Amino acid sequence: MSKTVEAEGALETRGIEQVPDHERTARTRELFPTWVGANISVLLLTMGASLVVAYGLNIWQALVVAAAAPVVAYGLVGLIGIAGKRGGAPGMALSRAVFGQRGNLLPGSLIWVARWGWETINAVTGAYAMLTILDIVFGIRANSVLDMVMLLAFVVATFAISGLGINAVQKCNRYAAYVFGVFSVLVLGYLAVTTDWSRVMHHGAGSTAAVITGIGMIAAGGVSWIPSAPDFTRYLPRTASSKAIVGTAVGGAGIVVLPMVLMGAVMAVSTPDLASAADPVSFLGEILPTWIAVPYLLVALIGMLLINSMSMYSAGFTAQTLGFRVPRHWAVSVNAVISLVLGGVLMLVATSFMGSFIAFLSLLAVAFSAWVGVFGADMLRRAEYDGRAMADTTRTSAYWYRGGFSPAAVAAWAVGLVAGLLFTTSDWFTGPLADNNVIGEYGLGWVATVVISGLLYTALPKPAVVRPAPAGETASEAGQPVTAGI
C-alpha cells in the first residue's frame, strides 16, 4: 500500500475512484497473507468432515479434493485480480466498464445481497467460537441472550477492522497467518499421535462424481472472493507480475485449505457426528484437549473476524457502486447491520447449520459465477480501464453504452445465471435440469454458469473498448478501440 498517502493502519479514505499511479507502490508478496487470512475458518474442518460422512470419500480422495479446490477457485481469484493492477480500482467499479453504468447495478445488487449471506455465516460461526470458549474455560452454557451478545460483539469487531481500511486488514492478516500456522501444526501433531490410522486408511472409497462434487463444494467458498480480487490488487503498479498475483492467491489459500480439510476428514472417521453437529465449532472442545482447543479457537476466531472484515471491506465498495453516496467505512455499516439481523435469525431459528451452509454455498457460487464469466471474457479484450469514465455515471461517460447498459454483457450475465440455476441442486432449491445429466450429477452448476456466460459474451457484438482519456480530454472524446490479452 502507499505509505506516502496513508499511514499503515490509519483510516483509509479512498473509495471506488481509480488509484493514481504514484500511489500504487504495493508488492505482490503482500497478497499472500491476505489470501491466507481469507481462509482461516473452522468451517473448512466441518466441510472436510462432510467429504467423509456425506460424500463417502476416503482419505486419499479427500486429499485430491483439498488440493484441487484452492487451485480451481483461487486460480480464478488471481486471474481476475490482474484487472486490479490494470485499472487501479475495486472489482465492482471496474465492472462498470463491462456492463455499463446502469447495467452494472444488476450483477452488483445480486453480489451485494449474496455477501449478506456470506457475512452472516461467518458472523454466526465466530459467535459460536466465542460461545465454545466460554463453555470450555468458564463452564458458561449458551442461551438465546448470550448468543445474541456474542453475535453483536463479533459484528462490531468486524466493522471496526473493515472500517479502518486495507492497511489495517492486511496488517492483521499478516500476524494472524503466522499464529494460525503455529497452532495448526500443534493440531496436526496431536491428530498424528492420537488418530486410529488403520481405521482412517481402510475407510471405503466414494464415487468419482462425489469427488468432483466435493471439489465444487470446497471451491465455492473461494469463488465468492473472485469479484473482490481487484479490491486487494488495485494498489499494485501496472508492472506487477500477473503470474505472481495468481501464484500468491493459490498458494495463500492452498496452505490453509489443504491441511484443514484433511484434518476435518481425519476427525470425521472417528467422530462421524462432526459433519452434522448442531454448530460448526463446539466439536473441537470434545475432540481436542483444552490446552490446544482454546488457543486454536481463539486463533480461528481472529481468522473469521478477518474473513468477515475483508468481505465487508469489499461490500462497502459494492454499496458505493450501487449509488450509496456515503464514505466507504459508512457503507460497510450497512452490511454490518444486515449480518447482525440475519445472523440472529440463523442462530435462533435454523435447525441444521451445516445443511443451511452447504445449500447457501451452492447458490452463492452461481450468483458470483455469472459475473465472473462475463468479466473474465472481457479481460481478454481489454488492456486498460478509463478511471474518469468509471466515475462518470451520466450519459457523458464512455461506459454509458446504450442507455447505460452494455447489451452483450447484461444478456450474457442473465442467461448464464438462469442456466446455472437450472443445473443446480441444494436443500433450498433444485433446478429442473439438475438430474440425469453430468452437470447436475457432478455439482457443476456454477462451472456451467461461468462457461455459458463467458462464451455468450464472447460471441455477442459488443461496444468498442475505449482507451483511457488523457488529461484535459473528456471520457466521451477518448480514442479508438484497443484490444489485449491477459
Q: What is the CATH number of the domain that holds 257?
A: 1.10.4160.10
pLDDT digits (tens, 9 = 90+) for 134-156: 888 888 887 888 989 998 888 88
Residue at grid coordinates 472417528: 270
Q: How far apart are alpha carbons 431 and 434 in whole angstroms?
A: 5
Which of the four pLDDT bands, split at 50, 70 and 90, describes residue 227?
very high
Give the structural domain span for 124. Answer: 28-354
pLDDT digits (tens, 9 = 90+) for 344-384: 887 777 666 666 677 777 777 888 899 999 999 999 988 88
Q: Is the pLDDT at 241 greater than 50, yes or no?
A: yes
Whether residue 261 contacts residue 48, with contact meaning beta carbons closer than 8 Å, is answered with yes
Whether residue 216 contacts residue 50, with contact meaning beta carbons closer than 8 Å, is answered with no
Burial class (CB in 10 A: 0-12, 13-18, 19+), 476: middle
Q: Is the pLDDT at 476 greater than 50, yes or no?
A: no
Q: Does residue 480 lie within any of the structural domains? A: no
Q: Does residue 371 lie within any of the structural domains? A: no
Q: Residue 108 half-sphere exposure, CB side, CA atoms within 13 Å?
A: 27
Q: Is the pLDDT at 197 greater than 80, yes or no?
A: yes
**Range from 290-299, 397-406, 438-447, 472-481 carrying the lowest mean pLDDT:** 472-481
Higher pLDDT, 367 or 247: 247
- Output the CA–CA distances (angstroms, integers) from residue 378 to 2, 104, 453, 469, in the order listed: 29, 14, 11, 19
C-alpha closest to that of 328 among 39, 7, 93: 93
> Looking at residue 328, what is its pLDDT?
59
Which of the four pLDDT bands, split at 50, 70 and 90, describes residue 75?
very high
Q: Is the pLDDT at 9 greater than 80, yes or no?
A: no
Q: Does residue 108 lie within any of the structural domains? A: yes
Q: Does residue 462 lie within any of the structural domains? A: no
Grid cell digits, residue 63: 486429499
Q: How many domains does the chain have?
A: 1
Q: How far apart are alpha carbons 13 and 209 in whole angstroms?
A: 48
Amino acid at 460: L
Q: What pTM was estimated for this model as a whole? A: 0.84
Q: Does residue 296 lie within any of the structural domains? A: yes
Higher pLDDT, 171 or 456: 456
Q: Is the pLDDT at 101 greater than 90, yes or no?
A: yes
Q: Does residue 246 lie within any of the structural domains? A: yes
Q: Does residue 156 lie within any of the structural domains? A: yes
Q: Does residue 201 lie within any of the structural domains? A: yes
